Amino acid sequence: MTKSYELNLNTAGEFTPSLAISFPKIIALVIAISYGGGLWVNVQHELEGVRESHQLAPILHWLRDSTLALIFIFFGVLMAVAFSRWLIQRTNGRLTRRARLTLIVVCVGVFSGAAFALGIPVHAYIFGAHLEEGAALVADMLKDGSLAALVNTGIAALLVFVMNGIE
């Protein structure tokens, strides 16, 4: 059994792997991470007893927060894909397809976790602080962002596997 590889040569004659992306697959990632990761963050806050000044019913709270996170996650996923593509190009074709997809998944998880973290001050400003007593904003951002990054990496891995890549 032989493997076939698509050879792409740039103008300098160097190998560059195919790095095409599918916009519908990117949108699917954004939606799954926004609502899946948002669900995780809301469940985590509920378990910790974190409250807002005007608390909604849990399902409405999750839908509101996840919908508002869409824009942050959209840019986080785009930045992750751009960064991972840059890293893949730097390897000059030495990565297998599986390694490239793993790199993309990890970057999407980390960048979308950072996007969740960056949305915390905006959320706190709009809906009332949800910070634990005595906890600094940065500590809350790091905690929630890192937990979201772990969950988002799993969501991204599942989707990339189901969609057979992002190209």
Per-residue buried b or exposed e for 6-26, using 16+ beta carbons within 10 Å of the residue's own CB: eeeeeeeeeeebebeeeeebb
The answer, yes or no, to whether residue 159 has pLDDT greater than 50, is yes
Q: Please indicate whether residue 54 or residue 80 has the higher confidence score (pLDDT).
A: 80
Residue range 61-80: mean pLDDT, rounded: 93
User: What's the pLDDT score for residue 2?
Assistant: 42
User: What's the pLDDT score for residue 3?
Assistant: 42
Residue range 51-76: mean pLDDT, rounded: 86
Report pLDDT digits (tens) over 83-142: 999 999 898 878 898 999 999 999 999 999 999 999 888 877 787 655 554 467 788 888
Give the global pTM: 0.80
Report pLDDT digits (tens) over 6-46: 444 455 555 555 567 889 999 999 999 999 999 998 888 78
